[in-house]
Amino acid sequence: MFVTAETAVAERPAVQVASASRRRGSRLPSLNLLAATLVSAAVLYAALFPVGPLPALGPAFNPITGAWTMAADAQVTDRTFRLAGLQQPVKVLLEQDGTAHLTAQTDHDLFLATGYVHAKFRLFQMDLMRRQGEGRLSQIVGKAALDSDRFELQLGLLRTAEAEWNALAADDEAHAALLAYAQGVNDRIAEAESMHQLDAMFTLLGYQPRPWSPIDSLVVKGDMTQTLNFTDTPLVMALLNKSLGADLASEWFPILPPNAQSPYDLGPYSNRSLAPIEAPGLVSDAEAASANALLDRLEALPPGLIAKGGASNNWAVGGAKSSSGGALLAGDPHLHLTLPAIWFQLTMDSPRYHAAGVSIPGTPVVLIGHNEHIAWSLTDAQNQQTFFYQEHEDSTHSGQYLWNGTWRRYQTVNYDVPVAGGPTQHLAVKLSVHGPVISERGQTTSVWWAGNVPSQDLRVLLDIDRSRSWQEFRDALRGWYSPTHNFVYADERGNIGLISAGYYPQVAKGRPWLPMPGTGEYDIIGTIPFDDIPQAYNPPANVIWSANQRQVTKDYPYYIGTASNFFNPGYRANEIHRVLSQPGKLSASDMQALQTDTRDYLASEIVPVLLKSLSSEHLNATEASAVALLNDWDFRMETGSVAASVWWYFWGWYLTETFNPWWKSRAVKVGMGEVWDALGQDLEMWTLADPNNRAFSAPGIGSRTAGDALRKSFRQLIADLVKMLGPNLRSWTYGRVHKRTLENLADVAGLNYGPRADRGDANTPLAAGGYPSTEGPSWRMVVDWGSHTFQSIYPGGQSENPASGWYTNHVDTWWAGRLNPMLSADQASTAAGVRAWSMRP
Amino acid sequence: MRLYLFLLVAGIVAIAGVLVGLWWAPFVVGLALGIVVRRGRIGVPIGAAIGLLAWLAPLAIAHESHGLGLTATSLAAIMGFDHQPAVPLALTLLLGTLLGLTGAWLGASSRGVVTSVRSGT
């Protein structure tokens, strides 16, 4: 009950009261006003200003312009509207599932409309991506993002993007495309602000997006390069070298993979200008301490900033091996699976462009897809593109480093980093000739990263979108530097090809898989000539494939990285090769089936050896049941399989049983998980071909063989699984222990999809490593040029708005392994439920 | 009668204000209400009711035309209240109510002070 002035004074009849009562009464109105003022001020303050993690509540929950508008934004209807900057009318069709079809009468309008459509459905995602690369996340989320911002500004995506933009001639088509695209994005920002349709996250975080610029698009491209390609492996290798010793480190982490893999480029190779590779040597204490400090810093960064391995598939089948008579192409790049997805599906038609596929919001091109003549997809090539240099400094040359015999002053770039809810931070980034200094703890370490070499990748992609032949496709890729990708190709004439385009840095001398002295002798001196990089065209077997495996055989004359930096162990590639190489012809449905293949190649090698090692053992009932299930298993990681669960855990137990004693006795500071794949390749080969390897006889373990370790691991595993999953072995289904989650990009757990039981593992073509698995096939595409059919799917939906029906509408189809037809704009115009936008100048 | 008419106009102004995006309209209307209406016991609750109505009406209209279920669920998730869509709705309506209430209270108490000063008590 509120006490008001009226209740105290005004409404009462005039009566004589005692003087004491009068004094109290005379104070009541003032106290009431004071209370009302304080409470009003508190309410208004909370309504007008952010308090702690809360946004300003008034604008945030304003029923008309606040977060509730996401309901209206989720409605997509037929529209006719003006768009500033258009030269001619543009037509946009939106299929029932949100797939966009843009038809423009000029190339300029096509890119402008693409910018508008991207921003209409993905503006917050685009803003987050540019902020991440430009070191501006703290400005909206506060000091929690300060480490990430500092790192990004040191690494230099923004500097590289600015250099790329400045290097683009005004008459370059990429220049025009980026400008038009930015205008389209800004048209949408202006429209959204005027119609109060900005994504709810802007409202809740309490900021307005600043205008989009071409540099923002180049930064978004840089984000992807970093995610796929910036590695800390040399630091890891330095610590392993120091703790395990040079001999064990070189034996366990060799340059060439120890296991049998399936390279696609079998040679012969030309042999030009070889760079010498030094024999392994021991890392010094100072080098190790410096690497350790830097690694600690990198490990503390948010996931996704450092490339931790890759997993993608693509392959092609020549017309001669295809049941339709035309070339087949399949591609499924594996990335962090997010909501919204990294991809936006569209077709882009203008006088010179007819491309269909997926684009990255923030960039104006189709990255993976097809045009009227060719189809292409890509996987990460995994070669080493990150090199660390330890600069030589001394106290008599402050602010300088020794390079090629002379002392040089570091170049310095200064940044102000705005922080929400705190003071702006200042950051001075030092640059040596090698690149940015990213650590000054211990020895000063700078990094040479191919992603910092300005490159005109956008122009390359525009050329690819217009290519009509392998020659044009390959020529376009001459300008592609980073990240190195395996570009697979198939065309309407039945041709197939694969080329691992990008920079393959070569050092003058030294051990590039470790941090190197920055004194000049170990610098990058060039890259492998384009004609010598891994590639193949119309191979005799009529099949070609990549799955992040090393692309070439041991005879390849150039250094491209070590087995642990970070080529895939090759199990997916081996399985894909196995299926594609079987006799008979292949169809588009075979491609689709292979994309969702759950056969674990490593299991197919190891499980028979395990079973043999147990054949004469006395087993308890549970162990015997597990053995029986493994005996009948087809090595497929399906959700209902108990054997899959046993294998899934067994491999980890076996690795731990073998290597953990070494890790303990040598006090290795690198987690085994960091080098799991590399150790796995060793263990695979020792189990199959070298069961007496000294690795099984770790210090304190005594002499033993692979068989001893297999048996001990198996018995321990079964005992542990009984404790973890219960005594009923039949209930140990794989779906119970292996789940997949699609994570909300803004890290809002309640907007995730899953966790949901799912099949596959890190070794299967249907990639699903980790627990819960958060990475996997981010896009699946199957092209059959014989029947001219194009199919695809990606997990997610076209809209970032969680209130939209297009937020997760593709997920179930993707989960089931099905594909949707990729319609052309003409086909879409007659499809049911299509919505049309007419944009006018 | 004049009081009812005044209350009706106040309600309409508050709702119209919110409908054109002025989320603070209930506070201003409540303030005026508190000053004008002599009986605070009536003015303050009515201010709160007008605040509630002013924020509820646009939401009701939006729900009728688009459906707010998914939006409420999404907002709840963003706020950390998974699967509790009532939370953002309640918070929104509470804010509207508080704006009307505090406006009316501030107006009424101001009036009280002025009256007190004039009456010399």
- For the segment A825-840, what is each residue's pLDDT rounded down to a tens digit? 999 999 999 999 999 9
pLDDT surpasses 90 at A96: yes
Does the distance separating the beta carbons of A4 and B109 come in below 8 Å?
Answer: yes
B102 contacts in chain A (CB < 8 Å): 36, 39-40, 43-44
A32 and B38 in contact by Cβ < 8 A? no
Instruction: Name the minimum distance, in Å, from the CA of B32 to any CA of chain A.
Output: 14
Please work out, in degrees rounded to the nearest 5, the angle formed at the alpha carbon of residue A256 by the alpha carbons of A255 and A257.
120
Question: Is B121–A22 a contact, with Cβ atoms under 8 angstroms apart?
Answer: yes
Q: Per residue in A405-454, pLDDT tens? A: 999 999 999 999 999 989 999 999 999 999 999 988 878 999 999 999 99
pLDDT average, residue stretch A319-343 = 97
**A271 falls in which pLDDT band (50, 70, 90)?**
low
User: Considering CB atoms only, which of B65, B83, B121 is closest to A26?
Assistant: B121
Q: Is A735 exposed, middle or buried (0-12, 13-18, 19+ CB in 10 A)?
A: middle
**Distance between start and end Cα atoms, chain A:** 60
Say how many CB pairs under 8 Å bridge A and B: 181
- Kindly report, residue by residue over A20-67, the tens digit of the pLDDT: 555 555 678 899 999 999 999 999 999 999 887 788 999 999 999 999
Q: How much is the average pLDDT of A117-140?
A: 97
Q: In sequence order, what are the residues at sequence separation of 6 or more whose Cβ sits closer than 8 angstroms to the Cβ of residue A148? A: A132, A135, A137, A301, A302, A305
Test mutation, B38, B106, B109, B110, chain A, max A CBs within 10 A: B109
Any CB–CB contact under 8 A between A29 and chain B? yes
Q: Which of A47-51, A240-244, A590-594, B65-69 shows the highest mean pLDDT?
A: A590-594
| B106:A59 CB<8 A | no
**How close B70 comes to chain A (CA, Å)?**
5
Confidence of residue A6 (pLDDT cuts 50, 70, 90): very low
pLDDT at res. A4: 43
Residues of B in contact with A22 (CB under 8 A): 121
Q: How far is A61 from chain B (nearest CA, A)?
A: 6
Cβ <8 Å between B109 and A11: no
Q: Report pLDDT for A15.
A: 46
Residue A329 predicted with pLDDT over 70:
yes
Q: How confident is the model at residue A286 (pLDDT cuts 50, 70, 90)?
A: confident
Task: Judge whether B84 and B76 are in contact, CB under 8 Å.
Answer: yes
Return the DSSP state at A265. B
User: Percent of chain B at pLDDT above 70?
Assistant: 98
Q: Which residues contact A684 (CB under 8 A, 6 or more apart)?
A: A259, A569, A602, A605, A606
Question: Is the pLDDT assigned to residue A671 strictly greater than 80?
Answer: yes
CB contact under 8 A, B74 and A22: no
Question: Which residue of B80, B91, B115 is in closest CB contact with A9?
Answer: B115
A22 part of contact set with chain B, CB < 8 Å: yes
A 180-219: CB under 8 A from B: 196, 200-201, 204
Joined tokens for residue A561? 């990285």
Of A9, A22, A75, the CB nearest to B112: A9
Nearest Cα of chain A lies from the Cα of B20 at a distance, in angstroms, of 7
Q: Is the bond preceding A483 in cis, omega lying within 30 degrees of 0?
A: yes
Output the average pLDDT for chain A: 92
B121 contacts on A by Cβ (under 8 Å): 9, 22, 25-26
Q: What is the rounded distance in angstroms from the CA atom of residue A610 to the CA atom of residue A631? A: 10
Query: Which residue of A68, A203, A742 is the best one to mutate when testing the B interface, meaning the one whose CB has the most B CBs within 10 A?
Result: A68
Q: Provide the pLDDT for residue A282.
A: 65
Segment (H or E) for A30: helix A19-48
Cβ contacts of B76 within 8 Å, gap of 6 or more: A750, B82, B83, B84, B85, B86, B87, B88
A783 touches A490 (CB < 8 A): yes
Least CB–CB distance from A4: residue in B44, B67, B74:
B44
Of the candidates B71, B76, B102, the beta carbon closest to that of A39 is on B102
Quote the pTM value: 0.93
Cis peptide before A268 (omega within 30 of 0): yes
- For residue A393, what pLDDT band results from cuts at 50, 70 and 90? very high
Q: Check residue A293 and give its pLDDT.
A: 79
From B106's Cα to the closest Cα of chain A, the distance in A is 5
pLDDT in the model for residue A1 = 39
- 8 Å CB contact between A236 and A675: yes
Determine whether the interchain pair A75/B66 forms a contact, defined as Cβ–Cβ distance below 8 Å: yes
Residue A17 has pLDDT above 50, yes or no: no
Residue for token pair 């070794």: A763
pLDDT in the model for residue A277: 45
Residues 6+ apart with CB under 8 A from B22: none
Are B58 and A40 in contact (CB < 8 Å)? no
Higher pLDDT pick, A473 / A26: A473
A76 reaches B (C-beta below 8 A): no
Query: Is A13 an interface residue toward B (CB < 8 Å)?
Result: no
In chain B, what residues touch A25 (CB-CB under 8 Å)? 121
Spatial distance between the Cα atoms of A468 and A491, rounded to a whole number of angstroms: 8
Q: Find chain A residues with C-beta within 8 A of B99's C-beta.
A: 43, 47, 58
Chain B nearest C-alpha distance from A548 (Å): 36
Q: In the predicted model, is pLDDT for residue A13 greater than 50?
A: no
Q: Torsions phi, psi of A785, nearest 5?
A: -75, -20
Q: A213-227, A388-402, A552-566, A758-772: which has the minimum mean pLDDT?
A: A552-566
What's residue A51's pLDDT? Answer: 83
CA distances from A322 to A230, A277, A784 (A): 38, 43, 9
In degrees and rounded to multiples of 5, residue A457 shows phi and psi of -60, -30
Using pLDDT thresholds of 50, 70 and 90, give the confidence band for residue A10.
Answer: very low
pLDDT at residue number A24: 58
Residues A358/A378, Cβ–Cβ less than 8 Å: no
A63 to B70: CB separation less than 8 angstroms, yes or no: no
pLDDT of A9 reads 40
Query: Which among A2, A29, A62 has the least Cβ separation from residue B113?
Result: A29
Q: Are A454 and A164 in contact (CB under 8 A)?
A: yes
For range A687-695, the mean pLDDT: 97
**Beta bridge partner(s), residue A330:** A315, A782
Helix (H, G, I), strand (E, B) or coil at A285: helix
Residue-level pLDDT at A25: 59
**Region A2-11 average pLDDT:** 42
User: What pLDDT shows up at residue A2?
Assistant: 41
Tokens of A832: 């049911």
pLDDT at A403 over 60: yes
The answer to whether residue B5 scores a pLDDT higher than 80 is yes
Distance from CA of B12 to the nearest CA of A (A): 16
Determine the Cα–Cα distance for residues A332 and A766; give it in Å rounded to an integer: 9
pLDDT for res A165: 96
Q: Which runs of consecutive H residues, i.e. helices, occur in A136-232?
A: 138-141, 146-155, 157-167, 173-194, 200-205, 214-229
Structure confidence at residue A814 (pLDDT): 98
Residue in A1, A3, A4 to test binding to B, most B beta-carbons within 10 Å: A4
pLDDT for A272: 63
Q: For chain B, say whether A75 makes contact (Cβ under 8 Å).
A: yes
User: How high is the ipTM of this complex?
Assistant: 0.95
pLDDT at A14 over 60: no
Per the model's pLDDT, the better-predicted residue between A664 and A291 turns out to be A664
Q: How confident is the model at residue B121 (pLDDT cuts 50, 70, 90)?
A: low
Q: At residue A302, does pLDDT exceed 80? A: no
Amino acid at A817: G
Kindly determine whether residue A4 and residue B76, on different chains, have CB atoms separated by under 8 Å.
Answer: no
Contacts of B98 in chain A (CB under 8 A): 43
For residue B18, the chain A residues in CB contact (below 8 A) are 62-64
Evaluate the omega torsion of the peptide bond into residue A772 and state whether it is cis, within 30 degrees of 0.
yes
Tell me the pLDDT band of A275, cut-offs 50, 70 and 90: very low
**Cβ contact, residue pair B121, A200, below 8 Å:** no
Among A6, A66, A201, the residue with its CB nearest the CB of B39 is A6
Hey, what amino acid is at B104?
Answer: A
**Closest chain B C-alpha to A473 CA, distance in angstroms:** 44
Yes or no: say if A119 and A126 are a contact pair by the CB < 8 Å rule: yes
Section A606-634 average pLDDT: 97
Interface contact B23-A64, CB threshold 8 A: yes
CA pair distance A482, A453, nearest whole angstrom: 8
Beta carbons of B62 and A63 less than 8 Å apart: yes
